[in-house]
Amino acid sequence: MPTYTFLNTETDETETKFMTISEREEYLKENPHIKQTLSSPVLGDSVRLGVTKTPDGFNELLKNAKNKNLHSTIQTRN
């Protein structure tokens, strides 16, 4: 389930709620003074987010594989 950030336009307070999409739609219908806002993503484990740098040894491994398999479509990463 996603996490949503809401702004109460009467009090200018923000709150974060964990709910399904259908629950969010119902919540917004029942509370016309509440508006959904965008928030920055919560940064966590870089490995799970897929933003780690490829080790230098892996590029060397790809080069060796390409040299040994001339018709290969393997490309090295930068």
Tens-place pLDDT, residues 14-51: 999 999 999 999 999 999 999 999 876 666 665 666 66
Sign of CA dihedral 56, 58, 61, 62: negative
Q: Which two tokens stand for residue 13?
A: 């307070």
Q: Does residue 32 or residue 70 have the better pLDDT?
A: 32
Give the lowest-confidence range in 7-11, 30-34, 69-73: 69-73
Number of residues that make up the chain: 78
Q: Which two tokens stand for residue 44?
A: 């966590």
Q: Which residues pair with 14 in a beta bridge?
A: 7
